[in-house]
Amino acid sequence: MVRIRMQRLGRRHRPFYRINAIDQRTRRDGRFIENLGWYDPIATDPDRQLKLNAERIKYWLSVGAQPSETMRDILVKNGLMDKAAWEADRKVARERVEAKKAAAGE
């Protein structure tokens, strides 16, 4: 299965990420299929912090690529994915955590 995820570059304490379409069995910094943009969390200017190739991301999502959790958050914030599905998944995750806490507390 193809995943849309980030590949870490940069030096220690200065991360820089490339956003790639990559086979899920490949290691994080391994070989990728296509570069879809980049993310620089250290940049102070919001315009220089994130660059996405929206057309290619939409293509990969249409052919069944699954974004990682972090990439899903970024794509929803930038309007490239459905927010309702994201909120439903987050609700399920929160309920799972609450059930786990309740089971551990008893």
Q: Are 30 and 18 in contact (CB under 8 A)?
A: no
Q: Provide the residue range defining the domain that includes 17.
A: 2-105
Averaged pLDDT score across all residues of the chain: 90
Query: For the whole model, what pTM was predicted?
Result: 0.78
Query: Per residue in 15-36, pLDDT tens?
Result: 999 999 999 898 877 888 999 9
Q: Look up the CATH number of the domain holding residue 21.
A: 3.30.1320.10
Q: What is the mean pLDDT of residues 43-64?
A: 91
Total number of domains constituting the chain: 1
* 31, burial (CB in 10 Å: exposed 0-12, middle 13-18, buried 19+): exposed
Query: Per residue in 65-103, pLDDT tens?
Result: 999 989 999 999 998 888 888 888 888 889 999 999 988
Q: Quote the pLDDT of residue 85.
A: 80
